[in-house]
Amino acid sequence: MAKTKTYEEINEKIKSGKVTVVTAEEIIPMVKEEGPAAVLEKVDVVTTATFGPMCSSGLFINFGHSDPPIKMAKVWLNDVPAYAGLAAVDAYLGATELSESQGVVYGGAHVIEELVAGKKVTLRAIAGGTDCYPRREIETKVGLEDLNQVYLFNPRNAYQNYAVAVNSTGRPLHTYMGTLLPHFGNATYSSAGELSPLLNDPYYEVIGIGTRILLGGGEGYVAWEGTQHNPAQKRNENGTPMGAAGTLAVIGDLRGMKRDYLRAAVFHRYGVSLYVGIGIPIPLLNEEIVRRVGVSNEDLTATVYDYGVPRRTRPNLGVVTYAELRSGEIKINNRRIPTAPLSSLYKAKQIAAELKERIINGRFLLTAPVAKLPFRDGVKPLREEVK
Amino acid sequence: MAKRRVVLTFPPELTEKPITYHLVKDYDLAINILRAKITPGEEGKLVLELSNGSAEMIEKGLDFLVKQGVGVEAVSREIFLTEEECIHCGACTAVCQPGALQVDPETARLRFDKERCIVCELCVPACPLGIIKVLF
């Protein structure tokens, strides 16, 4: 019978300092040269990572009670509105929310970045006043040390693959995929490719609800399937999806995270987003898992879409590999198009290396998922009522 | 080898006269047009890089331009990247057609080659972190 390992066995090795960990880049030549069985013998964990703009991110905060207390109805942090339709002093600050005074240069992501950097931000809140919460307004400064709970809860991160964007029109387009030059002047993409977490676990076998991860440089967990989680995406023979597919909802304490791995971004004439760094360990439990983490940029593909057509379904212009995208040029309909990434491979490599360090040093134990991510049909469109 | 970058302003009456030709022919300069906006009957702008000659020949060539009535200004603007804040995402490389900004395939870090930069400034808004600035 083929060899298998358990989470418990791997965690014992981590605790006794005998674990062997490599990154998802380092494993590729090993699997090619030695084969899955030999690799399973000597490697226990592969670390994956990504560092990209992830709009669907945000922060839950509990501010603590003032005296006299206030039931905050509307809340602003550095003039960025946070959602306060929760209990008295709970709020959720979305990464893409814009400042009411500064507009598209400052948003929720910037507040998150300032907090994680140890800065104080201005909290302003108003309320109607009740018998138990008489106060009607408050303005003060708060930092990480002043808050009760302050944790990221990102409803959609770590997209398992994404689109390649091009522009067929005669004018530059300013999109969440960056500036797209006219007449197919460039192509942008956003994935860590062979380092990307869910491209190394295409069928969500080891990454599931409860998986401990590195989030923003601190410890976090996979909380749920992400929004728009779409396992039904078309797949390559190796099981990896050819476009946007699975997603993760993740959670983690902002305390313990680092500004290096959480950075606010402004996409010109589009809006604010948050660059989020995520690292996920993949335990090598059996040969099948080893085979899957062995995929390289040559084996991974993405689909090219024309963002010049502003519709839900954009024209599909073909499929390219991540090796081609990384080479700096793709060929679409006999046209050579220069490529540029939006997610940082440099940072993804750093995160994969940091997670590897933590596991080797016994500071990061693996968790088996408490439940699997669902594997059901696709994403529903928003239908409009016919009047 | 001497090298100078200049912004030339051509008054409307000069836009139809061959002038840069003389820089090549009479002063033995190599000219590289970085940016140009010329409409007959209107003021024209040309951003040139002059090289291939001695500093003296470049000076003489520029004197010639001034005598012809062409406005000559040094390119004083340059692109400045705050490297320690850079996350090396590569979004700026998408708009950099001269290839001054590139992600190094070996290190995965962003590389900025000032020599290739034509100060088109497209990278300034393209940088999601807002750390690329034009310095005057």
Using CA atoms, how far residue A12 sits from A6, A125, A386, in Å, is 10, 49, 60
Q: Which residues of chain A does B110 touch, with a Cβ-Cβ cutoff of 8 Å?
A: 346
Average pLDDT over residues A125-145: 98
Nearest CA to A205 among A283, A294, A279? A283
C-alpha A204/C-alpha A214 separation (Å) is 17
| Cα(A88)–Cα(A86) distance, integer angstroms | 7
Q: Are the CB atoms for A290 and A31 separated by under 8 Å?
A: yes
CA distance B34 to chain A (A): 18
* Average pLDDT, integer, range B48-60: 85
Nearest residue of B to residue A327 by CA position? B105
- B32 vs A35, residue with greater confidence: A35
Stretch (H or E) spanning A53? strand A45-53
Task: Give the span between the Cα atoms of B45 and B106, in whole angstroms.
Answer: 39
Q: What's the gap in Å between the CA of B87 and the closest CA on chain A?
A: 7
| A142 contacts A63 by C-beta, under 8 angstroms | yes
Which residues face A301 on adjacent strands?
A321
| Residue B49, beta-bridge partner list | B5, B32
Q: Which pLDDT band, with edges at 50, 70 and 90, does A383 fall under?
A: confident
Question: What's the whole-number mean pLDDT along residues A260-284?
Answer: 97
Residue B69, phi-psi category: left (phi > 0), alpha (psi -120 to 50), beta (remainder): left
First to last CA, chain A: 64
Predicted local confidence at residue A1, as pLDDT = 58
Going by pLDDT thresholds of 50, 70 and 90, the confidence category of residue A6 is: very high
The pLDDT, as a whole number, for residue A376 is 78
pLDDT band for B38, please (50, 70, 90 cuts): confident
Q: Does B120 touch chain A (CB under 8 A)?
A: no
pLDDT given for residue B115 in this prediction: 85
| CA A333 – CA B73 distance, rounded (Å) | 44
**If DSSP states are collapsed to H, E and C, what string results for chain B?**
CCCEEEEEEECHHHCCCCCHHHHHHCCCCEEEEEEEECCCCCCEEEEEEEECCCHHHHHHHHHHHHHHCCEEEECCCEEEECHHHCCCCCHHHHCCCCCCEEECCCCCCEEECHHHCCCCCCHHHHCCCCCEEEEC
Mean pLDDT of B42-58: 85
Please give the C-alpha separations between residue A314 and each of A171, A303, A309, A310, in angstroms, as whole numbers: 17, 11, 6, 7
- Tell me: pLDDT of B1 over 70: no
Residue of B nearest to A276 (CA): B87
Q: Do A342 and B91 touch (CB under 8 A)?
A: yes
* Domain spans in chain A, listed from the N-terminal domain onward: 7-54+153-360, 64-147
- Which residues of chain B have a CB within 8 Å of the CB of A341? 89-91, 93, 103
Long-range CB contacts for residues A169-175, cutoff 8 Å, separation at least 24: A169/A308, A173/A307, A173/A308, A174/A267, A174/A268, A174/A269, A174/A270, A174/B125, A175/A267, A175/A270, A175/A307
Band of the pLDDT at B55, cuts 50, 70, 90?
confident
Q: Which domains does chain B have, with CATH numbers?
A: 4-74 (3.30.70.260), 78-135 (3.30.70.20)
A132 is catalytic: yes
Residue A182: closest C-alpha in chain B? B95
pLDDT of amino acid A290: 98
* Catalytic-role residue among A2, A132, A382, A386: A132
pLDDT tens digits, one per residue of A321-337: 999 999 999 999 999 99
Q: How far is CA B8 from the centre of its chain?
A: 11
Q: Model pTM?
A: 0.90
Model pLDDT for residues B74-124, shown as the tens digit of each residue: 877 889 999 999 999 999 999 999 999 999 999 999 999 988 898 889 999
The rounded distance, in Å, linking the Cα atoms of A117 and A114 is 5
A282 pLDDT above the threshold of 90? yes
Least Cα separation, residue B131 to chain A (angstroms): 10
Percent of chain A with pLDDT over 70: 99
> Is A249 within 8 Å of A146 (Cβ atoms)?
no
pLDDT at B39: 80
Nearest residue, CB atoms, B129 vs list A263, A328, A346: A263
Write out the DSSP string of A273-307.
Answer: EEEEEEEEEEE--SHHHHHHHT--TTT-EEEEEET
Token couple for B100: 């001054």
Q: Using CA atoms, how far apart are residues A371 and A375, in angstroms rounded to an integer?
A: 12
Give the pLDDT mean for B43-51.
87
**Phi and psi torsions of A121, nearest 5°:** -125, 160
Query: Do the beta carbons of residue A316 and residue A303 sit within 8 Å?
Result: yes
Give pLDDT tens digits for A66-75: 999 999 999 9
What confidence tier does A107 reach under pLDDT thresholds 50, 70, 90?
Answer: very high
The pLDDT tens digits of the residues spanning B3-28 come to 888 889 989 888 778 888 898 999 99
Residue % of chain A over a pLDDT of 90: 95
Q: Is the pLDDT of residue A225 over 70?
A: yes
Reply yes or no on whether the pLDDT at A79 is more than 70.
Answer: yes
**pLDDT above 70: residue A172:** yes
CB contact under 8 A, B125 and A340: no
Residue of B nearest to A323 (CA): B105
